Amino acid sequence: MSFKLISGKEVSSEIYDELRTRIQTLKTKGIKPGLAVVLVGEDPASQSYVRMKGKKCEELGMYSVTTILPESTSEAELLEKVEELNKDPLIHGFLVQLPLPKHIDENKVIDAIDPKKDVDGFHPENVGHMLIGNPTFLPATPAGIQQMLIRSGIETAGKHVVVVGRSNIVGKPIAALLMQKGKGGDATVTVVHSKTKDLTEITRQADILIAAIGKPKFITRDMVKKGVVVIDVGTNKVEDPTTPNGSRSVGDVDFENVKDVASAITPVPGGVGPMTICMLMANTVKAAEQALQP
């Protein structure tokens, strides 16, 4: 069957156009949305992601600050930096790039971020608002997935969504978002994970399948039903001697085989990935708008 390719590049481009208008409005009021990113250590993937965030801020005409701290930075030093950003009037939103070195308690750092500047949407206060259906800042990747579905004309109301993976970053929050009342919600959601029995039996029931398990090509053709909508959140490096650097990115879904039975599917790369940075920018603009309110 023919399938629809859900392009994160196209959907994010549409959202960026809307954000540019809002940013211009803020600038007429003397506000330039400011985003800060703190990176501890030299993880190459994190460094690349941080660079992309800075570049996108520049493209949109936003203020951007990146702080790179050595791997040896203590928890107290990082918390001091967080407090500094909490008080900085030029910074409307910021995040501390995860994962952090093992000697630093991630939860303690997240808890220290001012919820009004928590554009990653990870602070317990913002997670609570999301769960009760009164969100302030939504986690970027789940929010991006929801926008992809809405803007691609894929109905979620009454559909059975199966989420593969239960992480705090994607699995749990996307399940919470899709079961909320309203546009982009009203779905019946099942979450499966490494301890789920008869996993394939459940994934084959999905009208919409969201794969966020971090295993290359884990979802195979026999695990989905005909006409399924597939959102592939995975980004996994696999060896490929035909490429200049000897590797390539693949998702959690066996794209080439699953696309033939899907009604719509996201590619990797170019699917969910671009939406994550896009929604981070949207959260930062929202934080700047809220900073204007008394």
Strands 247-250 and 236-239: antiparallel
111 labelled catalytic: no
120 labelled catalytic: yes
97 labelled catalytic: yes
One of 53, 81, 117, 217 is an active-site residue; which one? 53
Q: Rounded CA gap, 103 and 126, in Å?
A: 25
Strands 93-96 and 63-69: unpaired
Q: Rounded CA gap, 220 and 84, in Å?
A: 47
Supply the DSSP symbol for 90. Answer: T
Contacts of 146 (CB under 8 A, 6+ apart): 138, 174, 177, 178, 184
One of 81, 97, 118, 254 is an active-site residue; which one? 97
Alpha helices in 152-216 (DSSP H): 171-179, 199-203
One of 118, 120, 207, 232 is an active-site residue; which one? 120
How many angstroms separate the Cα of 154 from the Cα of each of 143, 183, 206, 292?
A: 15, 11, 14, 35
* Residues with active-site annotation: 53, 97, 120
